[in-house]
Chains A and B, each alone.
Chain A
Amino acid sequence: MAIAGFLVHAEAGQSERLEAELAEIPGISTFGVHRECYIAAVAEAPGNSMEDLLHRVHGMDGVLTVYVTSMTVEDELVV
């Protein structure tokens, strides 16, 4: 089980919509839009699919880039 904190840098005017879209994705919790373009979020996914999840976020419409701020992988936490 991996837990990653990240910031999504959104294109202008897209952040509200993106935050809503992100919150819909299973395993992702969002923590608000900051400075009008950064969405703070945490993703939780099995270790071998975390990368794909982040790729998916990066490829979303309106996403400029994703800054991963932390990544923790815990083998004992079995979901």
Chain B
Amino acid sequence: MTVSRRKFLKGSAAALALGMVGSPACALAAAGQEESVDRWVKGVCRYCGTGCGVLVGVRGDRAVAVKGDPDNHNAGLLCLKGAMLIPVIYAEDRITEPMIRRGGKGSPLDKASWDEALDFAAGAFRKAMDAGGPDAVAYYGSGQALTEESYLANKIWKAGFRTNNVDGNPRLCMASAVAGYLTTFGKDEPMGTYNDMDAATCFFIIGSNTSEAHPVLFRRIAQRKESSPDVKIIVADPRRTNTSRIADLHLSFVAGTDLALLNGMAHVIIREELDNPRFYSRYVNFVTNDGKPCAFEDYKAFLAEYTPEKVQEITGVPAADVIRAAKLFAESSSALSLWCMGINQRTRGVWANNLIHNLHLLTGQIGRPGASPLSLTGQPNACGGVRDTGSLAHLLPAGRMVANEKHRAEMEEFWGVPKGTIQPKMGHHTVALFEAMAKGDVKAVFIHCTNPAHTLPDLNALTKGLETAFVAQTECFMDAETLKYADVVFPAAFWCETEGVYGCTERRYALTEQAIKPMGNCRPTVRILMDFAEKAGVDPRLFPYKNAADIWEEWRTLSKGSPYDFYGMTRARLKKESGIKWPCPTEDHPGTNLRYVRGEDPLVPVNHPDRLFFYGRPDGKANIFLRPYQPPFEPADKDYPFILTTGRVIDHWHTATMTGKVPELQKAYPSAFVEINPVDAQKLGISNGDRVVLETRRDRMTFPARITDTCMPGLVFCPFFDKNKLVNRLFHHAVDNASKEPEYKICATRVYKQA
């Protein structure tokens, strides 16, 4: 009998299907078996300012797993970056030996011994100071450095080398928020915490893509919305990002016009009589833009021109939406504002911060659970490490100022150095520092835990300083752009290879304990700093510390009695708990949720006559500033008709030297692209994937296009993580007058398809 044709066909169809089961395409690895863990070590995530608690699982001498700490604020949750931290530790390009560029700039980096490297760097520093005095050297630190590292470096440079050229990358991200809090409330740092997210009934999220920059906080906000239909969310952003998925109202304003929007909301609040005279007559001073006291009537007159219609004209936001946003904010029982780089990285960043605070002070939406202006911090330790320790060119620890004689004398006494040791003159802020390096005024710089050759604005101009000055650098990964300019590289212990404290957005200081030994020949940075300083001529009695814990002890003692008091956070207590929120003056104090509030903040006397006390200001009151709308430094014009903005994507952290080592994250975003609105794309004849040129007054770069309606027409967006597409080359380096923070969010560009 012949096999029938039909039987043959069916047989071969079956065989084919069965064959496919055997193909590697359908092969399955065994379900992920997490390697068994000997012990879990408590710590904080290495990435963003959310400051999630983590537990690092150690087996033998290896870190093998990461999971969320159930006792920290994140209740065990992590975002995809934090969950995949382990491969970063064991990246193939970890720097594990010191390196020296013996032949000068442009020659290759050679391995060296620790002594060689330290001597080489110390020698260069001595030479620089002999030629140009103490101000010929500098320290450029980081909001990712441990608190103990920043405190130590600040002390060494300001009291040891005696220069105030101490600055750091928080200048590039949080400086405007710092100045905003300082000018409005007298002291830095938010008064609320993440707990406010569980109580707020209106969220006002502006200049923040929370879903990608602070994912775990985004989840908390979404969860709050789910819990009650009364909870409303306003998202104000020229881009309609994933964050807007949970928004009840999305306000797309032309980039840079948010000051008008904020004043417009204040205008409506007063017009609709939703302001709170009982609150502001007791707690608020009204101050003109040039610092003179005035009255509420002056503020009202100042706001008269910011009608909803005028705001619509300036911003593009429909007048009805301006009114709706103002009413949602003011009529809610508790309004919580959240903002990040969209507000801070601006030439009018401080003003924008002030205007957000104004809304809270005008309505009394402050100092209650859920009612607070909460600035989101970008880096894991900009707050605890740099802001609070005063490791910036104009600051001293715990809110003191270099320019204040009394403050300098206090620090000189505490640090045991002769009176007059600390210079009265402010040092160079970041942009000025790199300009001074290019000029030759600063001849040697120590760069710690940051990648300025990738993250400075106007890279073509500002990297010149790296080409001329002597650069000593701590770095963990070989693909950091700044290494191209380093003369000496010190391999620092990475994250959980050493112990130290991180202080996150919500004033929470939490300890990362050492989980594993430093890799190869890496050393903890505190050790590197002390050895280097001694060789460079600083009296070693300035840093009599065996380890980071000793440094913490000194800093803790210094904070006692100051507005940043965390004396109650002993090392032992930090080991036991999963972070504590300051002020925390005694060991039995649980930490503070509502700062400035009687009965909540231990620094407010229990018998204070008013419920709130802004003790950072001499008269105990906060300031409402009459800040006008002013356009950005380089708005779009007829020659450069588009606005270019930059920002984050969830999968990558900053310059991707860490996240780029995780295959899943690298594959999700292997390289940068430019987001273009479909309307613009059509006019320019650009399709998805086309190569598009972005040309600014500084430089020209090509990106593949991604057509999406995330950006509003007239706006294009590039992520900044890609070292092969250094988008900061396209930007200018104009800074905010007060905070000295550059405007990474707005520059003018041409957009056209590559020929």
A residues touching B (Cβ–Cβ < 8 Å)?
Answer: 1, 3-7, 29, 31, 34-35, 38, 40-42, 44, 67, 69-70, 72, 74, 76-77
Contact = CB atoms under 8 A, between A and B. Distances in A.
B21 interface: yes
B16 A70 contact: yes
Interface residues of B, number: 16
Contact of A77 (B5, B13, B19): B5
Contact of A42 (B5, B10, B20, B28): B10
B6 interface: yes
B6 A6 contact: no
B21 to A, nearest CB: 4
11 contacts: A5-B14, A7-B20, A38-B21, A40-B14, A40-B17, A40-B18, A67-B20, A69-B13, A70-B13, A70-B17, A74-B5
B12 interface: yes
B26 interface: yes
B18 to A, nearest CB: 5
**Chain B contact residues: helix, strand, loop or mixed:** helix
Given A5-B16, A40-B17, A72 B9 contact: yes
Given A3-B9, A74-B9, A41 B26 contact: no
A3 B13 contact: yes
A44 B5 CA distance: 13
Contacts of B16: 5, 69-70
Contacts of A1: 6
A69 B6 contact: no
B274 to A, nearest CB: 53
Contacts of A31: 14, 17-18
Contact of A6 (B5, B10, B17, B26): B17
Contacts, number: 59
A67 B18 CA distance: 11
Contacts of A5: 12-17
B9, B10, B18: residue with the most chain A Cβ atoms closer than 10 Å? B9
B4 to A, nearest CB: 9
A42 B9 CA distance: 10
A1 to B, nearest CB: 8
A6 B17 CA distance: 5
Contacts of B10: 3, 29, 42, 44
A35 B19 CA distance: 13
Given A7-B17, A44-B6, A70-B16, 7 more contacts: A3-B10, A5-B16, A5-B17, A6-B17, A69-B16, A69-B17, A76-B5
A1 B9 CA distance: 11
A3 B17 CA distance: 12
Nearest to B15: A5
Contact of B17 (A41, A76, A77): A41
Contacts of B20: 7, 67, 69
A4 B13 CA distance: 6
A40 B13 CA distance: 10
A47 to B, nearest CB: 13
A38 B5 contact: no
A18 to B, nearest CB: 15
B13 A42 contact: yes
Nearest to B26: A38
Nearest to B28: A35
B672 to A, nearest CB: 33
A5 B17 CA distance: 6
A72 B16 CA distance: 12
B137 to A, nearest CB: 63
